């Protein structure tokens, strides 16, 4: 409570400070976030194309909880805790695949694609065992655009579409994202708290002229806009071709670059008809994995796709060093919190207030 109350969520942007350094370095606070932020929010579990047919499945873990998402024989998409009801082994062990049934590798218990317990080898004579109540435990699941989301702590919470909000759903529906197809995934490791990466993303382009010279050459920095929704922030910029740095200019074309952040840890970056997404995965109080997925239209050549991915890679490499540097500074006795730019950092302000809302709720009950 003492740490939580160091932040005042009621101050308007021009009076506000960032959340305090302790929120980025305290292990108890990190554990609280896993429970109150990651377990209760809609989390990306996979791509819709991975589970488009009956029997297709993906596995993931959300805040330490193993989850499997599978399309049933009846065509319905379901998600379950990927934890066998016998002795808790993971039932599905591949990242994705196709199966006729879900068979645990440990003692061979089998579950239908709909999660019912079907086979229990050598289990005759076990008393008071109700097979019907020993199916896989369900998890909430929903699809939106190219993605599948799950929420492991169902409760009475909001549906995915309500959570995203009409604005975001309507805006993205105009982008024809479903015409873009997944091409490649890349993983990046950061020695920082997950919120450092999100803060860096949400600074309204503030760091772009200093850290990303290539990217800066194609964005119209002075016309960069920041639009907050209830649970998302859109940052966007007109794009320019004159004076563009060659490598970046070749693959970052079009009229606008759109950067959507969806609370708490998912980003959609769209520029001139190509897209990448970022999933920010906490791996420890000062360890973060960021997963990039790159999507392109079918008409684009492999060579152009690879060139586009390489530009994304370069921008990430530039961000890794600064995020790690920020984490070291957050550990310093010299730093407690910092002020926010009214022109640039409204997205961070929204992020910090949403985190506060979630952790405060938990600490008061
Ligand atoms: S743990 Fe799955 S069958 Fe025993
Ligand atoms: Fe950056």
pLDDT tens, position by position, 69-118: 999 999 999 999 999 999 999 999 999 999 999 999 999 999 999 999 99
Which residue CA neighbors atom 1 of ligand 1 most closely? 87
The pLDDT value recorded for residue 154 is 79
Is residue 90 in contact with ligand 1, taking CB distance under 6 Å?
no
Distance of CA 63 to the CA centre of its chain: 12
DSSP state for residue 69 in the 8-state scheme: E
- Between 346-363 and 194-201, two packed helices, what is the crossing angle to 10 degrees? 150
Spatial separation of the C-alpha atoms in residues 15 and 9, rounded to whole Å: 11
pLDDT at 306 over 70: yes
Q: Write out the two tokens for 220.
A: 């119209």
pLDDT at 363 over 80: no
The pLDDT value recorded for residue 267 is 98
Over residues 168-226, the pLDDT tens digits come to 999 999 999 999 999 999 999 999 999 999 999 999 999 999 999 988 898 998 999 99
Among the residue ranges 66-75, 120-129, 247-256, the one predicted with the least confidence is: 247-256
- Between 194-201 and 302-330, two packed helices, what is the crossing angle to 10 degrees? 120
Mean local confidence (pLDDT), 307-311: 93
Over residues 40-76, the pLDDT tens digits come to 999 999 999 999 999 999 999 999 999 999 999 999 9
The pLDDT value recorded for residue 156 is 67
Q: Which atom of ligand 1 is nearest to the CA of 88?
A: 1
- Give the Å distances, CA to CA, from 85 to 27, 89, 109: 31, 8, 9
What is the whole-number distance in angstroms between the Cα of residue 315 and the centre of ligand 2? 6
The pLDDT value recorded for residue 248 is 84
Spatial separation of the C-alpha atoms in residues 215 and 217, rounded to whole Å: 5
The pLDDT value recorded for residue 364 is 63
- Give the Å distances, CA to CA, from 68 to 57, 104, 221, 280: 7, 12, 42, 19
The pLDDT value recorded for residue 272 is 85
The pLDDT value recorded for residue 56 is 98
Query: Among 101, 107, 135, 137, which residue has the most ligand 1 atoms within 8 Å of its CB, making it the best to mutate?
Result: 107
Is residue 86 in contact with ligand 1, taking CB distance under 6 Å?
yes
pLDDT at 254 over 90: no
Q: Which of 218, 214, 224, 223 is nearest to 239 (CA)?
A: 218
What is the whole-number distance in angstroms between the Cα of residue 58 and the centre of ligand 1? 19
Query: Among 81, 82, 87, 131, which residue has the most ligand 1 atoms within 8 Å of its CB, making it the best to mutate?
Result: 87
The pLDDT value recorded for residue 157 is 74
Strand partners, 196: none
- 208 burial (CB, 10 Å; 0-12 / 13-18 / 19+) is buried
| Cβ atoms 113, 99 nearer than 8 A | yes
| Cβ atoms 287, 190 nearer than 8 A | yes
The pLDDT value recorded for residue 243 is 85
* pTM of the shown model: 0.96
pLDDT at 332 over 60: yes
Is residue 339 in contact with ligand 1, taking CB distance under 6 Å?
no
Q: Write out the two tokens for 315.
A: 């921008």
Instruction: Please report which ligand is nearest the Cα atom of 111.
Output: 1
Instruction: Please report which ligand is nearest the Cα atom of 315.
Output: 2
Q: Which atom of ligand 1 is nearest to the CA of 107?
A: 3
Mean pLDDT for the chain?
95
Q: Which atom of ligand 1 is nearest to the CA of 91?
A: 2
| Cβ atoms 313, 186 nearer than 8 A | yes
Is residue 251 in contact with ligand 1, taking CB distance under 6 Å?
no
Q: Which of 230, 266, 275 is nearest to 148 (CA)?
A: 266
The pLDDT value recorded for residue 245 is 87
Spatial separation of the C-alpha atoms in residues 51 and 65, rounded to whole Å: 20
Q: Which atom of ligand 1 is nearest to the CA of 120?
A: 3
What is the whole-number distance in angstroms between the Cα of residue 61 and the centre of ligand 1? 19
């Amino acid at each position: 409570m003492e740490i939580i109350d160091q932040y005042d969520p009621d101050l308007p942007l021009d009076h506000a400070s960032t959340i305090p350094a302790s929120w980025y370095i305290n292990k108890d606070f990190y554990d609280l976030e896993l429970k109150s932020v990651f377990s209760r929010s809609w989390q990306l579990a996979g791509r819709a194309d991975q589970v488009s047919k009956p029997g297709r499945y993906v596995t993931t873990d959300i805040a330490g909880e193993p989850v499997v998402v599978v399309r049933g024989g009846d065509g319905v998409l379901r998600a379950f805790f990927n934890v066998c009801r016998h002795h808790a082994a993971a039932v599905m062990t591949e990242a994705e695949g196709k199966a006729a049934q879900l068979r645990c590798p440990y003692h061979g218990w089998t579950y239908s694609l709909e999660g019912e317990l079907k086979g229990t080898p050598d289990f005759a004579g076990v008393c008071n065992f109700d097979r019907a109540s020993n199916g896989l435990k369900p998890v909430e699941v929903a699809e939106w655009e190219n993605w599948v989301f799950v929420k492991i702590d169902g409760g009475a919470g909001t549906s995915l579409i309500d959570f995203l909000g009409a604005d975001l759903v309507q805006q993205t529906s105009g982008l024809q994202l479903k015409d873009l197809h997944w091409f490649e995934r890349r993983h990046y490791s950061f020695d920082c708290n997950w919120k450092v990466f999100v803060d860096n993303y949400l600074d309204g382009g503030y760091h772009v002229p200093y850290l990303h010279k290539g990217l800066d050459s194609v964005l119209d920095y002075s016309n960069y806009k920041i639009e907050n929704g209830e649970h998302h922030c859109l940052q966007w910029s007109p794009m320019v071709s004159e004076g563009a740095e060659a490598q970046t200019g070749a693959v970052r074309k079009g009229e606008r670059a759109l950067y959507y952040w969806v609370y708490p840890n998912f980003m959609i970056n769209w520029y001139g008809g190509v897209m990448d997404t970022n999933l920010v995965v906490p791996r420890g109080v000062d360890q973060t994995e960021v997963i990039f997925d790159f999507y392109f239209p079918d008409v684009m050549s492999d060579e152009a796709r690879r060139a586009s991915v390489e530009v994304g890679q370069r921008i990430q490499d530039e961000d890794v060093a600064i995020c790690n540097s920020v984490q070291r500074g957050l550990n310093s006795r010299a730093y407690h919190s910092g002020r926010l730019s009214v022109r640039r950092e409204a997205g961070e302000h929204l992020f910090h207030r949403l985190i506060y809302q979630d952790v405060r709720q938990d600490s008061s009950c």
